[in-house]
Structure 1
Amino acid sequence: MVKEKNILEEKISVCLDQVGFNKKPKKNEVMQISERIASNSVNLSIEELMNSVTVPNARSFTPALFSDGQRLNQSWKSQQVFALDIDSGLRIGEAIKLSAEWKVTPTFIYSTFSHTEEHQKFRIVFILDEEIQDLRVRNVIQTALTTLFPSSDKNANDAARILFGGMKIEFVHRGIVSVPQILDAVVHKIKSGSNATREMKKFCKASGLALHRGYPHYKKAEEKDLPISDNNSLYISKTENRTNTINYYSTRAKNSHYSYYLVFSRDSFQDDKSFTHEHKFFREHEVKLIRNFPFENLKKRCKLYRKGISGDYWLYHHEMFGLMTNLLNIEGGKSKVIDIINSRKDYLNKKEEWSLMMNQIKKMNYTPTRCDTYCPFADECIHSNNMIEQGKLPRGSVQVLQEPQFREVDEVYKKLEEVLEDIMYNKDQGVYVIKAPTGLGKTEAIVNLAQENSFSIAFPTHKLKEEVSQRLNAKSIEHLKVPELPLLEEPFSDKIDHLYNIGAYKTVNKFLRKISNENEEISRFLNDLEKVKSAKEELLLTTHQRSIFTNDNSNSTVIFDEDPIPNLFPISHMKVSDLVFAFTKLQDNEGNKEVIRTLQHMIMNAPYDIVQERSSFLLPSVRELEQTIVEESTISSNVLGFLNCDYFLKKKNNNTDYIYFIQRNQLPSSKKTIILSATINEQISKLVFGEEVKFVDLGFVEPKGSMLQVTSKSFSRYTIKENQQVLQRLAENLMKRYNPNSEVITYKDFFNYEKKEEIYFGNTEGIDDLKGENITVIGTPHLNPIAYLLISVALGYRMGLEESRMEYIPVERNGLRFYFTTYSSDTLLKEVQFYLVESQLLQAIGRARVNRYPAKVLILSNLPVVGAEYISFSQKELIELMK
């Protein structure tokens, strides 16, 4: 349960006389009090006020504060305390009962000096949850309270009224009231009586509020739903702008604080028609009810609804109000409200009250109330923004199911160093995976480790390898590094590109040795390469590609900076016609003819869209096969790669047949392998490296910067291709609003303009030039579904009809619930998809290094990122933003 605060300890301000009396002051004493009281404003607790105004102190006070030290109505400044003077017509017990009926309970009641048991005279004191600084609102409150308690003295309602001290406290309630709560009570009282229409107009005229659809024009609302206008007929009270707020709950400030607005008439009173004409910004359209709502989902997900509709929980007034504002916005929701009302016999005496409340909510078009403002179970259940989202997640929005646990960056970095050191001194071989947040300082930890240890470090790019080499040099740490192939002029560069394209990697080495006599750079490159090959127990900087695809025996330990798994599963494709042409040439060799003819027949007869395992074969003339492909300049596809693949799939695209194929590679089992990555996936890691892999997740870092994510559009390659101009305009407008002048990371061929760094999805790993910069990441970098399929099959997964179907469906992942286009079943296929898309998106976001720098990242993607602040727009708002 939520702990209630001791309201009597809360501080409030009043003007309090310095002199106390043990009886009602005489006329001359009253004049003296009047002259001095306005200049003696004090800040004291409610309990101290109670003690001050009763015997033995019995000091006079004014609930209001004044601007110039004079007790005048026109000098009124602010007020949080309101009081009613009862001299006749009502007894204390009756007042308490009446306040309970209207649910506007005073904080305390004290008897006056002339009070007797037969003729009870007392003052009812109400403390508001906010300080009022608008005289019009003050008058509304006072009028509303006198309407609720008509026996109060009508002559004691002016803003500068002095209230004399009294005998003793007769009643104490450890609670406060709000402006909407008081007005709700007035509406309830008037609607419950006779001549409700006449009395409502009478109240509006007396209070100055406008009449709207038969009700005083006031409304509780989310801040996003508050009207925007500088019209002086409008008063808006936002939670964030209030002064001296008092929260009823110590752990849930939102619970007692609704935003609301009041609308005042121009001439104290106007009828509906003239008011609507003058205040166009308050025209409210009929709310469209949400259709096809899954009430059973709500029953599973919402404890309050579940217990409310079963009758297992007694609903208090504000809880029923919250339920109604949600359910009455749903088609069929009214019947659910009636079911709740009928769920308990002891609700019988509340039916009329709740019926009136239901009519008011519908007529005034109340929007759904947030769960955390009324639900008693808000702190013990995983709840969404409101009940509607709890049952039916709006498309494009994100529901936080579990708040991430953040730790300080230095604490996490220290843990990283400890884990690395433990692994290094562990004699066991195998694969160790450390998932560490971007920008934590992984590279620095590796450099520090290199001061006393020799191992190989594999980087995703040569550029990152060179940057780390410079850092090692700065610390005078000796090391070797795998050289990067120099840039060659044509026709040599074309020749090497061709050899790589067809998968003739051995021939590349032969060609380089051939031209090294004439090219000094190539000669130096090959010499450096030989030094690396012969190195033993020396610190070596290499690349992912080389570490995976060459036999490197220089060290028994290799550390992969970033995730190497995508490199272990290279995927290629080629036209079937290219492959058939190559096979035709390969059949010129009699030794290979039968095998090649059989392979060609297999390709030609392979069904579309079905993954096939490549047949195993023996080729009598392997060298001749590669030589034939190298010498045939018209062969430009990766034929050799296909002959080494594990699985392939034939696909027809635009009336052209293609072959997609994948090869599964392994990390060397004789080494200790350490992988440091922010994006690696534990489930995928265990499938790739085996269940014995040691996986350490360092968790989340409390960021120095911020991430803001707009999730209403996916900005996928497909949607951009279909609507590039419109989506580019939307992206530009969102950047202008939320992250102006920021660097952009997106797809290579989208949003082209001058960039600080040539960086795009697929080319982000290790780039450090944007650290501390504000960046905008645009896109959800989906891969071709064939990639998900081939990788899943290579990992041993087999699927059927249901598993391979992609739909736009609700997904629960990483403590978040959202809509996403993915596979309908919770299969490895879905896990592979999210792993690959998340990896590219998180790598792009990580370039700003928000964990260590106060940078801002705007993310335009419908794949929510943990720790971001999420914004979703309605279709209407998106259309406006696209203009």
Structure 2
Amino acid sequence: MSTVNPKYHQIERIDNWGVPLVDVDEAWEDFSEKFREAVASDEPGWHVIKSQTALGKTQALLEFLRDTPLRVLIAVPTNNLKREVCERAKKMEIEVVTSPSLHEIKDNIPDVVWDEIQALYDVGKSPMPRIEKAIAEDDVECAKVFKRYKRELSEFINSESHAITTHRRLTNMDVSKYDLVIVDEDIIYSTVIPSRETVSLLMLKKVRKKLAASDPLAAKIRRILKKVKDSEFFTLDEIDWRREYADIKMAVNIPALCSAAYFCYRAASKQENDLTEDSITFIKPVKFYANKYIMLSATADETICNLYFNEENVRFYNCKEAANTGNLNQCGDKSMGRSSIRKDPSIIKRIKRWTKFDYTISFKEFHKHYEGDLHFGNCAGCDMLKGQNIDVIGTPHQPEWIYKLFAYSLGYDVDDDLKPGTVVVHNGFRFRFMTYADETLRAIQFYMIESELEQAVGRARLLRCDCTVNLFSDFPLKQAELKESKYDTDENDEDSEST
């Protein structure tokens, strides 16, 4: 390996980096030992076990449920995974209940009713009054569906058995009746970071006009409008929600606005295309009730866990890493961010002609350029591409304000800016990348990009499956083999013409 700085769009492997890989059986034994250690520990707080995708965490979890005398709550990222784990538990004759979700029955109720429910969710209000109204009126189209939902909700709340829910429901949920909460996958990335609201300044002014000048919410809005004149990030105190706020008929999540403390001003002229007005985005507070939590994840990051949960509340277990059965090829000669692909979206079709792989995961906005249902942002836990060859195309950067707002909410300085061509060392590689000099901001940025890429690559289950994933990104992952891409060569053009 060269000792000089790498050229632009060049990734260099660092010799003898990291801990030697082991075989799958040894990795499994190591994970099992750490899981037993975490379960046996008397320490409350968060026990975070980082182990590879496809190692067998879900099966280990179900076997634990079958044998333990503890009452356990499991939280998974999505409703689909919730149902999948429930079915596997029932086949093993494990008594378990699942939390119901209105999103799972939306196709069984009229669109107009669902729109009303979604509107209530959007403004932070409970949909239960709308459900009760439909039942009381014996609405022929949805009363039966809602009665079943209420019955399942009551069973979930009152059950004495193990239970399965989603990450989203777990947040702000009283878990005191459970002896242990096991979180499958990284809840910080799936739920905590995306927990935010955006409101235009114009809408805030309209809300203020509906309030008395002495009202605490009116005063908070006035402070927001004053702060945005000279601050991009700012903090305000939480205020109590008042019953009269429920009568404000506007598309603003007022309960979240009342409880919010960390804000970011976003000018329409400087931000994403879908932001048409000057706005503020704020963190919706997430609360985890006191209990013992065990989080099982392939993407959890020790630094981020310590930052968010507080280091004294975290015990982190790094499991041994096994060599993949399959192959991960890294083509890093182009940045492959959204903006670069927007300039030349046909690059996706050229890649597909070259690799001849059937399956692709990339950005949702370029979906018309490839076939498949998966994209960055909806990959977690999906098993439909197990054992398949996949092209993962893109480096999933987030808008800079997302990195900074999360860092700001943790109490860190956010004055640093992204710098292109910064030489970094990560995952056993040296390469240039648009990132921060500030270590905390860089850790947050790398964590978010790597989590998304690992989720995408993980759909193939390379650890146990003999298949190949081609990763077209300038952000290298562990166990990647550096490959030269040839989709823009004359040879590839000739191949495409002859097919």
State the Cα distance separating 1:781 from its structure 2 match.
0.7
Do the aligned residues in 2 keep the contact of 1:432 with 1:695 (CA within 8 Å)?
Answer: yes
TM-score, with length taken from structure 1: 0.51
State the distance in 2 between where 1:713 and 1:509 align.
50
- 1:421 is aligned to 2:36: yes
State the distance in 2 between where 1:744 and 1:551 align.
40
- 1:685 is aligned to 2:344: no
Judged with a 3 Å threshold, the aligned counterparts in structure 2 of structure 1 residues 583 and 572 are, in CA distance, closer, same or farther, namely same
State the Cα distance separating 1:754 from its structure 2 match.
7.0
- 1:574 is aligned to 2:199: yes
CA deviation string 1:638-691 (max 9, x = no partner):
34322221211112123731111113424222x110000000100111111222
State the distance in 2 between where 1:811 and 1:552 align.
42
Do the aligned residues in 2 keep the contact of 1:568 with 1:665 (CA within 8 Å)?
Answer: yes
SS at match of 2:412: coil
State the distance in 1 between where 2:492 and 2:237 align.
53
1:602 paired residue number: 223
1:772 paired residue number: 387
State the Cα distance separating 1:636 from its structure 2 match.
2.2
2:135 paired residue number: 516
CA deviation string 1:473-493 (max 9, x = no partner):
111111111112221312210
State the distance in 2 between where 1:516 and 1:392 align.
68
Q: Of the candidates 785, 792, 802, which is equivalent to residue 400 of structure 2?
A: 785
State the distance in 1 between where 2:363 and 2:157 align.
38
The AA in structure 2 aligned to 1:531 is E
For 1:845-856, list aligned pairs within 5 A: 845-856=457-468
Q: Of the candidates 45, 53, 64, which is equivalent to residue 449 of structure 1?
A: 64
2:243 paired residue number: 623
The AA in structure 2 aligned to 1:476 is E
State the Cα distance separating 1:753 from its structure 2 match.
6.0
SS at match of 2:363: coil
Larger relative contact order, structure 1 or 2 (CA cutoff 8 Å, min sep 6): 2
SS at match of 2:356: coil
Do the aligned residues in 1 keep the contact of 2:173 with 2:288 (CA within 8 Å)?
Answer: no
Q: Of the candidates 143, 151, 154, which is equivalent to residue 530 of structure 1?
A: 154
CA deviation string 1:749-794 (max 9, x = no partner):
21426745x2211111111111101111111111111110011011
SS at match of 2:48: strand
- 1:564 is aligned to 2:218: no
State the distance in 1 between where 2:278 and 2:430 align.
39
Judged with a 3 Å threshold, the aligned counterparts in structure 2 of structure 1 residues 881 and 456 are, in CA distance, closer, same or farther, namely farther
- 1:409 is aligned to 2:24: yes
CA deviation string 1:578-632 (max 9, x = no partner):
22222222x1xx4x7432332232222223552110234356xx1110x223xx2
- 1:839 is aligned to 2:448: no
1:392 paired residue number: 5
Do the aligned residues in 1 keep the contact of 2:324 with 2:462 (CA within 8 Å)?
Answer: yes
2:376 paired residue number: 761
- 1:741 is aligned to 2:357: yes
- 1:583 is aligned to 2:208: yes
State the distance in 1 between where 2:233 and 2:492 align.
42
Aligned-residue Cα RMSD (Å) equals: 2.2
SS at match of 2:477: coil
State the distance in 2 between where 1:685 and 1:531 align.
33
State the distance in 2 between where 1:709 and 1:597 align.
53
State the distance in 1 between where 2:420 and 2:230 align.
22
Do the aligned residues in 1 keep the contact of 2:265 with 2:280 (CA within 8 Å)?
Answer: yes
State the distance in 2 between where 1:605 and 1:656 align.
17
Do the aligned residues in 2 keep the contact of 1:457 with 1:541 (CA within 8 Å)?
Answer: yes
The AA in structure 2 aligned to 1:794 is S
State the distance in 1 between where 2:384 and 2:230 align.
45
The AA in structure 2 aligned to 1:749 is E
State the distance in 2 between where 1:594 and 1:852 align.
60
SS at match of 1:820: strand
For 1:91-106, list aligned pairs within 5 A: none
Q: Of the candidates 43, 47, 53, which is equivalent to residue 432 of structure 1?
A: 47
For 1:259-408, list aligned pairs within 5 A: 384=1, 389-401=2-14, 402-404=16-18, 405-408=20-23
State the distance in 2 between where 1:497 and 1:859 align.
37
For 1:111-190, list aligned pairs within 5 A: none
For 1:661-672, list aligned pairs within 5 A: 661-669=282-290, 671-672=291-292
State the distance in 1 between where 2:181 and 2:441 align.
30
* Percent of pairs with identical residues: 28
CA deviation string 1:736-757 (max 9, x = no partner):
33x313310111121426745x
State the distance in 1 between where 2:417 and 2:491 align.
35
Do the aligned residues in 1 keep the contact of 2:350 with 2:488 (CA within 8 Å)?
Answer: no
1:702 paired residue number: 323
- 1:612 is aligned to 2:238: no
State the distance in 2 between where 1:623 and 1:869 align.
59
Judged with a 3 Å threshold, the aligned counterparts in structure 2 of structure 1 residues 881 and 792 are, in CA distance, closer, same or farther, namely farther
The AA in structure 1 aligned to 2:6 is L
1:821 paired residue number: 434
State the distance in 2 between where 1:609 and 1:811 align.
30
State the Cα distance separating 1:873 from its structure 2 match.
6.1
State the distance in 2 between where 1:455 and 1:657 align.
45
Judged with a 3 Å threshold, the aligned counterparts in structure 2 of structure 1 residues 881 and 733 are, in CA distance, closer, same or farther, namely farther
State the distance in 2 between where 1:846 and 1:501 align.
32
CA deviation string 1:259-288 (max 9, x = no partner):
xxxxxxxxxxxxxxxxxxxxxxxxxxxxxx
State the distance in 2 between where 1:811 and 1:798 align.
21
The AA in structure 2 aligned to 1:661 is F
State the distance in 1 between where 2:338 and 2:405 align.
21
State the distance in 1 between where 2:482 and 2:329 align.
6
The AA in structure 2 aligned to 1:527 is R
Larger radius of gyration: 1
SS at match of 1:598: helix
- 1:656 is aligned to 2:277: yes
Do the aligned residues in 2 keep the contact of 1:399 with 1:818 (CA within 8 Å)?
Answer: yes
The AA in structure 1 aligned to 2:91 is A
Do the aligned residues in 1 keep the contact of 2:265 with 2:279 (CA within 8 Å)?
Answer: yes
2:475 paired residue number: 863
SS at match of 1:615: coil
Do the aligned residues in 2 keep the contact of 1:809 with 1:821 (CA within 8 Å)?
Answer: yes
The AA in structure 2 aligned to 1:684 is I
The AA in structure 1 aligned to 2:3 is Q
Unaligned ranges ≥5, structure 2: 270-275, 494-499
State the distance in 2 between where 1:746 and 1:760 align.
5
CA deviation string 1:313-364 (max 9, x = no partner):
xxxxxxxxxxxxxxxxxxxxxxxxxxxxxxxxxxxxxxxxxxxxxxxxxxxx
Do the aligned residues in 2 keep the contact of 1:646 with 1:661 (CA within 8 Å)?
Answer: yes
State the distance in 1 between where 2:362 and 2:231 align.
30
Do the aligned residues in 2 keep the contact of 1:608 with 1:651 (CA within 8 Å)?
Answer: no
SS at match of 2:202: helix
TM-score, with length taken from structure 2: 0.89
2:177 paired residue number: 554
Judged with a 3 Å threshold, the aligned counterparts in structure 2 of structure 1 residues 449 and 764 are, in CA distance, closer, same or farther, namely same
CA deviation string 1:6-32 (max 9, x = no partner):
xxxxxxxxxxxxxxxxxxxxxxxxxxx
State the distance in 2 between where 1:743 and 1:826 align.
37
- 1:473 is aligned to 2:90: yes
State the Cα distance separating 1:882 from its structure 2 match.
9.4
